[in-house]
Structure 1
């Protein structure tokens, strides 16, 4: 029985290796084809273009394009460490810029909550109007539920910024007691084993979750491209505008966009974490804070910076 099972296992393993290698080579073709034929996926006035975006955004082909791109960039970085440091600075700069921008959503959330309480208790008004001329008039409950959106912006779009700033929680059961280069190996393994797979899984679920609330007929992750092309004949935009309470916030599709943005930013930043850890492992402790752009609370407050 073992003799008959062994060839089957080896055959499956060989098929898997062939599938993996063929997808790596096809990634170059797929990327080149997408770049040279932008009208096939950028012309959203064409329903077929939208369906191609839906299909390829959560496809194996897209994953391997991203995977091969990372391999090529890392390969160039091995040859030129300055190039890899440049990639780290760009990716961390993107995380910092995005986080610093959307961190203001926290202030807006607090101010809006104060204004809601003020309008309700002082003026006893059932609605609020923001804007000049043609203002945005909504019920109080709409603005109250909208506060969740600001909170979601902070959580999803500031996550990589917090990582760069050293603000995430770390459970130092082993990490704190090991040598410097061992720490960097742990960081590299963590980026590949934990951050990237989590981001990919979240993207896969979030991608189709988003599009099922934007268009009809509703797409499915199990559908082939040909099937989606057939569905494009009945395509129409159907953006979700439901609310969970009468006159409540009706833009919940924005949360689904933030979920996809969160997954994409975490995956991209995992690349930055891996590259920085690799370069620090190679160059030693003197590169610990090299090109690291962290906010400061000012002189005398160093003990509170990056605490977690």
Structure 2
């Protein structure tokens, strides 16, 4: 169990680092958005690349932050049921949800997302809009983001099993 616990801690550390690192993308997206608005309304010019990079940054925040959000109990759940359960019942519910829903869904998205990225990479796929950006970086975010989410799902699974077996501390749970 100690080895699995270290694996969970390693995954936690990875998603913590990614989550804390990408928070700067919020500032970057805001500055780009403000710059785009100033250029558009102040100078009457527009840039498809400027708009697309905003979308890419939003996608990066959402996808790369999913594992971090799961680690910090920030995902939506049925709190009116979950919050009424004992910590042990919550752990069981999270185990079942992780095994039946989270991991299969994340692995399915990775399975279908990876070939989309590879195709975009090999073909040098570009946005169809004039002045648009390469598409492979944003398509790579899909399998990477869901990979981080799946890894965090494994970490949460380990922590919930450890808690039920009496090896780990009770996870901070939302009420």
Higher RCO, 1 or 2 (CA under 8 Å, sep at least 6)?
A: 2
Structure 1 match to 2:34: 114
Could you list the per-position Cα deviations for residues 174-210 of structure 1 after superposition, in whole angstroms to 9, with x for gaps in the alignment?
3222222121111111111111100111111111122
Deviation at 1:161, TM superposition (A): 0.6
Structure 2 match to 1:262: 145
Q: Distance in 2 between matches of 1:144 and 1:213?
A: 20
Structure 2 match to 1:190: 97
**Structure 1 residue 206 and structure 2 residue 113: aligned?**
yes
**Structure 1 residue 91 and structure 2 residue 11: aligned?**
yes
Deviation at 1:152, TM superposition (A): 0.4
Which structure shows the higher helix fraction?
2
Q: Residue 87 of structure 2 contacts residue 170 of structure 2 at CA under 8 Å; is this kept in 1? A: no
**Structure 1 residue 101 and structure 2 residue 24: aligned?**
no
TM-score (norm 2): 0.88
Unaligned runs of 5+ in 2: none
Q: Distance in 2 between matches of 1:109 and 1:166?
A: 25
Could you list the per-position Cα deviations for residues 159-178 of structure 1 after superposition, in whole angstroms to 9, with x for gaps in the alignment?
11111122111113432222
Unaligned runs of 5+ in 1: 1-76, 127-138, 216-237, 293-305
Work out which of the two has the higher radius of gyration on C-alpha atoms and give 1 or 2. 1
Q: Residue 36 of structure 2 contacts residue 51 of structure 2 at CA under 8 Å; is this kept in 1? A: yes
Deviation at 1:275, TM superposition (A): 0.3
TM-score (norm 1): 0.52
Q: Distance in 1 between matches of 2:111 and 2:3?
A: 31
Deviation at 1:245, TM superposition (A): 2.3
Consecutive aligned runs of 4 or more in structure 1 exceeding 4 Å deviation: none
Could you list the per-position Cα deviations for residues 116-171 of structure 1 after superposition, in whole angstroms to 9, with x for gaps in the alignment?
2223333x164xxxxxxxxxxxx622112211000000010001111112211111
Q: Residue 167 of structure 1 contacts residue 307 of structure 1 at CA under 8 Å; is this kept in 2? A: no
Cα RMSD for the two superposed structures: 2.3
Deviation at 1:270, TM superposition (A): 1.4
**Structure 1 residue 239 and structure 2 residue 121: aligned?**
no
